[in-house]
Chains A and B, each alone.
Chain A
Amino acid sequence: MHLVLFFIFGGFCVAGALNLLLQRHPINSALSLIVVMTSLAVLYLLLGAEFLAAVQVIVYSGAIMVLFTFVIMLLNAQREERTHGSRAAYILGFPGAAALFAILAFIFVQNGKSLGFVDLSPSTMVGTHQLSEVLFRNLLLPFEVTSVLILIAILGAVALARHHEPPRNQSRPAGKEQR
């Protein structure tokens, strides 16, 4: 049962990721990434991380990717055109990625036996309660630091994306004042 679910949603993940690579239009890439993230949430459930599964959908699919599609819609991004840089990327990119995959897969297959199997008995399920105990007792300081990080990110995003007013100079003809 778990194996079947793993192959279904793992297949969705790989198909979505490949679609991200192959599609030319950014909004199609964004949608395939959403498929990847939502299937990953199901895989988290299969690994006994129920809280993370929900957070994965809420944060990644529901917030971050909404931001991405929002920006794509706002900037009205079109199909990307091939330019001079991309041929070099083709020659170097695919072999590089394939080599990386080969190395990682080799290591994982070699050590796969010692890792054993996924255990989903109630003793290894991590509930919200256990997670929050570790997060708010042992790791309180890192947690607070991340909240500061988020605050800085919000301020930075607002400062960057704000439309800068053009400097007021006297040479602007009267009667054509903006606003």
Chain B
Amino acid sequence: MKTRMSDIPRKCLYLGILAFALLLPWLPLGGSSNYLLRILTTATLYMVLALGLNIVPGFNGLLDLGYVGFYGIGAYTAGLLTLHYNVSFWIIVPLAALNGAIWGILLGAPTLRLTGDYFAIVTFGFSELVVLVIRNELWLTRGPMGLPGIAPPSVFGHPLTQDWEYFYLIIFLLLIVLFVVTRLEDSRIGRAWYSIREDEIAAQCSGVNLIQYKVTAFAISAAIGGAGGAFYANWFKFIHPDMFKFWESILILCLIVFGGLGSIVGTMLGALALIPLTELLRVVLPQNLFSGRYLIYGVVLVLMMRLRPDGLLPFVRFQQNKARRAQKRLAPTGNGE
């Protein structure tokens, strides 16, 4: 892995993007700069979330429709700890990630033996249950009243207020997650995951403990979701059960498939393309054509999948017969093959 030819230009590209991101708030854009920063902060947050989700369907080949449940758990963990105990943001993020991971293990351990879409629908049911609990347990979450007035995070005693400060914060979070995910990808665990994705039975025969590796993947994915939720709560300073509806899971899934399932750079590119798209359409389309915004959004999804069914930057790790890989990607148990 170390001698991959593309490594050096890739690193340069990463550094270039990072430098550009750090410079971005200081470009002379006048009044629109905060608007732009807000959109890019949202896009970066979704990059983090997408990188987390990618571990399960991308690396392991399991369809997860309940990712937003962990995101919501993280956000409420952070929101409640900030409001009631005024815990520092830097302690909250790991705690929220830990809470996400715990629920990931609790959900994953009994359900990860399920195959294909049965697993998907159980994760969906789980995320709906999370939202229902948030909505109905008023004593804990204030339910539909939401949690307003969450204190902003502070860095060395300085509370963050400016849009660029949050942008830097989420870039920092992204870098950490990116580091974790790329290291995982190249590790023993990552290789075990790929083997599970490509052929579960072959992996098992080669000594991969399926449940153990799948639960690990699910827990790490949930932890990243939880951390993303923690940032979200402290950035928005207000959380509400409606923010964690099923649609969010679908959206994040769209990002990773749009960008290239399993590919880290592709996943990030997917978020960077799709999240600002709705705002771009808002600015470009004429005022009275607001229903055109999501109309076009839908068409973009359909066209993109038609033109590049493997996503913007397809995952290329094994030089295999493309069609075979495509067939096997989400049917690890060989459904009728």
Q: Do A and B come from one complex?
A: no
Residues of A within 8 A of B (CB): none
